[in-house]
Amino acid sequence: MYADTRRTAGSGHAVQAWMSRFHDQVCVHHSLWIGRAVESPSYQFDLTDLPEIVHAQRRHSRLLRKYDPWLIGACYQNCSKFWHALVQHQYRIGERADRLLRLCPRDRQVRPWDPRRYAAVYPEIVENMSLFASSYWRGLAMSADDHQFAQFRAEFARRLPQESPLRTSARPWFLRQLKITAQEIHAAAERSRLPGVT
Ligand SMILES: [Zn+2]
């Protein structure tokens, strides 16, 4: 995490390249979004009224201490990709729309690349990361056994319940993405075990 000295009056935090630092989305000291889509300090914004986003960063950091950082990096990248696609497929989570509205009460037309869009879905991404980081749940997600896969789907729905069902046409896509996401994270975890990879 950044030391307080990194924050200069009025100009926010030093800006980072988020792809190389995707484990630091929030400065928990200042309750400030410093992560994805922050291209200059003016894009940083206050999260004081959105403690669940700050909490998600604490949880993200705990996952990093518990698991191999390579695994958590793969979890972040794949869950992030998955969740932004899910949102495009109208996977509706009530809290997310509410968060987005609280982040920008006067502006309902948030631009697609606005960092507030990334912040609004960050708690779901971290919840999903903790599920895929577990080799037990990953194994069930990748299983060819229908009963095992159903167990994984039930756990996903318990942790990340949706407000309304996906369109019929989006359901096969959703199930396929669950498996693909698990497989990509699993493959990255396996690669990290090869000699010479640090
Ligand atoms: Zn700070």
Residue-wise pLDDT tens digits, 123-164: 999 999 999 999 999 999 999 999 999 999 999 999 998 877
Burial class (CB in 10 A: 0-12, 13-18, 19+), 154: exposed
5-24 residue pLDDT tens: 345 545 567 766 554 468 99
**pLDDT over 90 at 182, yes or no:** yes
Q: Angle at the Cα of 63 (from 61 to 67), degrees rounded to 5?
A: 125
Distance 78 CA to ligand 1 centre (A): 27
The number of distinct structural domains making up the chain is 1
Q: Angle at the Cα of 185 (from 179 to 191), degrees rounded to 5?
A: 135
Q: Is residue 39 part of a domain?
A: no
Distance 6 CA to ligand 1 centre (A): 7
Higher local confidence (pLDDT), 167 or 195 = 167
Q: Is residue 4 part of a domain?
A: no
Q: Is residue 30 part of a domain?
A: no
83-121 residue pLDDT tens: 988 888 878 787 877 887 787 766 656 676 788 888 999
What confidence score (pLDDT) does residue 7 get?
A: 52
Distance 60 CA to ligand 1 centre (A): 17
What confidence score (pLDDT) does residue 53 get?
A: 95
Q: Is residue 15 part of a domain?
A: no
**Confidence class of residue 61 from pLDDT cuts 50, 70 and 90?**
very high
What value does the mean pLDDT take over residues 21-45? 88
What's the domain range around 130?
Answer: 51-192
Distance 117 CA to ligand 1 centre (A): 21
Averaged pLDDT score across all residues of the chain: 85
Q: Is residue 73 part of a domain?
A: yes
Q: Is residue 22 part of a domain?
A: no
Distance 122 CA to ligand 1 centre (A): 18
Distance 46 CA to ligand 1 centre (A): 11
